[in-house]
Amino acid sequence: MPNIDEILEGAREAMSVRRVYGEPIESEGVTLVPVAKVRGGGGGGGDDTNNGGAGFGLAASPVGAYVIKDGEVSWEPAIDPGRIVLGWQIVAGLAALAAFRIARRR
């Protein structure tokens, strides 16, 4: 079983800047540097008889990429289709609620 120092070292390694900024990708004079949002957490515990455990979790999602072309740097955000769909579901739900209230008043 790993000790707490090994677990903490693994957590430090997982939460490094290398997880946020990916390796640059070069093609046809354009360099892309992918960027992600990284979240993590961990915990552990034990008792007086050396029973215990620990764990660590990590989640990452794309945010966008820096585009370097002709010496100029620009930012291209990632598009999250799930978030767009959720946004439109909320808008449609609110519109349906408003239409229902208007119809009820008549």
pLDDT digits 0-9 by tens, 28-74: 999 999 998 888 777 777 788 878 777 777 788 888 999 999 999 99
Question: What order do you get walking across the sheet with 30-46 strand by strand?
Answer: 25-27, 30-46, 52-69, 72-77
The domain in which residue 63 lies consists of 4-78
Contact yes or no for 44/21 (Cβ under 8 A): no
- The answer to whether residue 46 is domain-embedded is yes
Quick one: average pLDDT of 9-13? Answer: 72
- The answer to whether residue 91 is domain-embedded is no
DSSP secondary structure letter of residue 35: E
Q: How many domains does the chain have?
A: 1
- The answer to whether residue 54 is domain-embedded is yes
Report the alpha-carbon distance of residue 36 to residue 84 in Å, rounded. 18
- The answer to whether residue 87 is domain-embedded is no
